[in-house]
Amino acid sequence: MALTVQVQSPSMTGFTAPMTAAFSAMFGFVVGNAFGNPWIGLVIGAIVGAGLAFALHALPLKRGQGRLVSIVAFAIVGVVLGGGGGAVAGAIIGAVLTWFVYWLDSGDYRKNVPIYYTAGQTLWHNTFMLICGLIFFFLIAPLIPVMWLSFNAEDFFTFTPEMLAFKAEGYSLKHYRDFLGTDEWMVPLKNSLIIAPIATFLSVSFGTLAAIGLSQSHVPGRQAIMAILISPMIVPLIISATGMFFFYAPLGNWIEANLGLSQAFVGYVKVILAHAALGIPFVIITVTATLVGFDRSLTRAAANMGANPVTTFFRVQMPLILPGVISGGLFAFITSFDEVVVVLFVGSAQQQTLPWQMFTGLREQISPTILAAATILVTISILLLATVELLRRRSERLRGLSPS
């Protein structure tokens, strides 16, 4: 009860109106730029911003009403200036500006800072929040046009006028049908789903064993072995790929000739082994990091109770380092699933993976089917990660580990 101080509404003429004018001038600049005259847009934006601040302050409207009124007003201006797309842009600008005015006018902008902060500190706090927001924006924003364009009704990477006006005929699912309905994409998807999990399994098994071995202080030449095992991560990929090509080609020939295995099968083996080698460094690094926090007396205690090293590993050590193993495995999976250089060299056409198909598709035929594939992959990874996270929280809750 002690320190609830009612924040006062700041001065309209001295603070809210000029701040809104400055903020709105930025939108004015952008809109003006679209019509060929950014500076006039800037001035108009500033005037509109200041006017909006006074109007919202003076009119006896509730927040929700005021917001609705100005969104509609800006959307109407948008329709006049730029049609359907303009309406959406206008509504967004209206919503942002109205929110900004109320945020300043009600004093909410000081809500999250201690009462004793100076104006400069408050400004910095809010700027910091803005920078954080922008970082997220720049990380996420490039994906949005990709997803949007994947519903294009045309075969080009172009926002058609119909798309910008949100007309139904500008959109279609045909690129999704292309992706899901043709061998051209389904075979590479199948190949990726064969190669990546097996390569991950190999990377995780060998990487974990190597990390455990290398964490023993008595292994001779530890640093050198570590450096060699990690080298695929450090050497430029194109060089590893060239080397692997000349290494695996005669090996594959020998296997085909002497073991009588088919060319296709040997091709898969070559790509899987190459990808496993690329994934091992990630597993070693994450597992080594987890092993630092592992208490070695536990293995001695297990040995003391009669467990052999294998039992100790699976019953004691493995559960404790599991988070490191899993995240290493995730990295190894992504390395293989995303990899295009090595598979182009080592693989033959029968092992075409999804990134290979995307790469050649982008070069030879700029088709939005690639965007549909990207959208589906992004959606699947978001769902997968969300599921894993939900399961993790559920098991924590069941085990009573969660603080809440």
Partner 1 sequence: MKLTKTLLASTALTVAAGAVAADGHMANDMTLVSWGGAYQQSQINAYTDPYTEMNPGVTVTWDESSAEAVAKLRAMNEAGNITWDVVDVVAADALRLCDEGLAMEIDPDEHLAPAPDGTSAEDDFGDLLVGDCFIPQIVYSTTFGYRTDMVPEGVEAPNDICDVFDLETYPGMRSLEKRPINNVEWALLCDGVAKEDVYDVLSTEEGQEQALAKLDTIKDSVIWWSAGADTPQLLADGEVFIGSTYNGRLFSAIEEQGQPIGMMWDAQVFDLDGWIIPEGLSDERLARAMDFIYFATDTQRLADQAKWISYGPARASSAPLVGDHADLGIAMAPHMPTDPNNSKNTFLYNYEFWADYRDDIDAKFQSWLAQ
DSSP 235: S
Among 57, 154, 172, 340, binds partner 1 (CB under 8 A): 154
Q: Is 112 in the site for partner 1 (CB under 8 A)?
A: no
Q: Which of 371, 394, 381 is nearest to 159 (CA)?
A: 371
CB of 64 to partner 1, least distance (A): 42
Q: Which of 292, 271, 89 is nearest to 191 (CA)?
A: 271
Candidates 155-163, 192-200, 286-294, 383-391; binding stretch for partner 1 (CB under 8 A): 155-163
Beta bridge partners of 171: 152
Among 253, 381, 387, 402, binds partner 1 (CB under 8 A): 253
Q: CB-based burial of residue 250 (10 Å sphere; 0-12 exposed, 13-18 middle, 19+ buried)?
A: exposed
Whether the Cβ atoms of residue 175 and residue 367 lie closer than 8 Å to each other: yes
Q: Is 162 in the site for partner 1 (CB under 8 A)?
A: no
Q: Is 352 in the site for partner 1 (CB under 8 A)?
A: yes
CB of 344 to partner 1, least distance (A): 8
Helix ranges (H only) for 35-62 are 38-58
Among 136, 363, 398, 400, binds partner 1 (CB under 8 A): 363
Q: Is 207 in the site for partner 1 (CB under 8 A)?
A: no
Q: Is 360 in the site for partner 1 (CB under 8 A)?
A: yes
Among 119, 227, 264, 301, binds partner 1 (CB under 8 A): 264
CA distances from 57 to 54, 63, 146, 237 (A): 5, 10, 40, 61
Q: Is 164 in the site for partner 1 (CB under 8 A)?
A: no
Q: Is 34 in the site for partner 1 (CB under 8 A)?
A: no
CB of 262 to partner 1, least distance (A): 8
Candidates 27-35, 70-78, 246-254, 287-295; binding stretch for partner 1 (CB under 8 A): 246-254
Q: Which of 332, 240, 246, 247 is nearest to 284 (CA)?
A: 332
Q: Is 169 in the site for partner 1 (CB under 8 A)?
A: no
Q: Is 348 in the site for partner 1 (CB under 8 A)?
A: yes
Q: Where does this chain bind partner 1 (CB under 8 A)?
A: 154-158, 245-246, 249-250, 252-253, 258-264, 267, 348-350, 352, 360-361, 363-367
